[in-house]
Amino acid sequence: MLRNKIIVAAISAFFALNTAQVIAAEMLTKLGKGEGQVDIVAWPGYIERGETDASFDWVTKFENSTGCKVNVKTANTSDEMVALMNEGGFDLVTASGDASLRLVAGKRVQPVNVNLVPSWNTVDKRLQNAPWHTVDGVHYGVPYMWGPNVLMYDTRAFKKAPDSWSVVFEETMLDDGKSNMGRVQAYDGPIHVADAANYLMYHRKDLGIKNPYELSEDQYKAALDLLRQQRKLVSRYWHDAFIQMDDFKNEGVVASGSWPFQVNLLQADKHPVASTIPMEGATGWADTTMMHVDASHPNCAYLWMEHTLSSNLQSDLSVWFGANPSVPAACTDGRGMQNAAGCSANGLDDFEKIRFWTTPVSKCKTQGSCVPYYRWVSDYIGVIGGR
């Protein structure tokens, strides 16, 4: 039932993105007293209160200082986030680029008055006006965290880091003498089509792909064909980070696209994994904290958005998730756990190399017409189902 709701939400949001005129709603001009709570939809690992590891807690002090209790609903895919925001009942969402513009066009989020966020000027200049949260000069959120989708691999199956995504797209004999068939995973979300397109950009120059989110019919067909080939190798399409970690530990999975979050936790648990960005490059995500158009607790929401830009929170989150802070000072000012070397290792200098998630639309920049997102949704379900 939930998956059906997600599919409907994704298709509805696509039509909104392609047909609706985005009109800025009235934004707050001053803050009032906190309402006592703030309800947030977030990616796993994004909002920690020390329950997983006591060293990582950026909720408790906020609650004590503001009186705003933080309630978190985790979501494992962007489509799930869109569905939850469409249903309502939440104040904020940490949305990736393949959800954020759908939320704007669907009028599910409201403009953010950055003058009410005192730390706005500390945000990375590359993110302040990013197109996945800024429409016609209006900001619809506050940047939170960004990073690549890495290739996670079991170091017992690979003597050295794999240099190509081919190990998850094509049958390959691995260094442990076994095939990769049945030992790899793929992401359970339509945006994974872009990973296939990104691979083809490097290996099929004849297709002329310039942007993995802007695909002609022929380019799109080639990507789907590659995904159908991958289907024969995949043991599970993952969307739950913790289930993926368990599969690496107990189910013999040795390679998959993943997030630095899983890599860090598995390494902390002494499981033999590492990660890399292969020669084809990688897709990635730049997430934005956005406010629901009907937020019940807007004052607490603004207080939370300001809190998320504190360099100590950004620093600790960067270490915890293995990603990059939206506030560059978090890498160097020593207020948190992160340092310049750690940020560099997380890919801080690779911003221009990452092809960030965005929502595919029919009117695209690189060619006259592209395959829109609702097709990605329905066709990827077919791929997973073996069609």
Give me the residue label for tokens 């009117």. 363
Q: What fold characterizes domain 2-147+285-350?
A: D-Maltodextrin-Binding Protein; domain 2 (3.40.190)
**Angstrom distance (rounded) from CA 76 to CA 87:** 16
Q: Three-state secondary structure along 145-185?
A: EEEECEEEEECCCCCCCCCCCHHHHCCCECCCCCECCCCEE
Residues of the chain with CATH 3.40.190.10: 2-147+285-350, 148-283+360-384
**Angstrom distance (rounded) from CA 18 to CA 15:** 5
Asked if 62 and 72 count as a contact pair (C-beta separation under 8 A), the reply is no
Q: Is 122 exposed, middle or buried (0-12, 13-18, 19+ CB in 10 A)?
A: middle
**Angstrom distance (rounded) from CA 33 to CA 149:** 39
* Tens digit of pLDDT at every position of the chain (387 positions): 444 444 444 444 444 454 444 444 578 889 999 999 999 999 999 999 999 899 999 999 999 999 999 999 999 889 999 999 999 999 999 999 989 989 998 999 999 999 999 999 999 999 999 989 999 999 999 999 999 999 999 999 999 999 999 999 999 999 999 999 999 999 999 999 999 999 999 999 999 999 999 999 999 999 999 999 999 999 999 999 999 999 999 999 999 999 888 998 899 999 999 999 999 999 999 999 999 999 999 999 999 999 999 999 999 999 998 899 999 999 999 999 999 999 988 888 888 889 999 889 899 989 989 999 999 999 999 999 987
The CATH-assigned architecture of domain 148-283+360-384 is 3-Layer(aba) Sandwich (3.40)
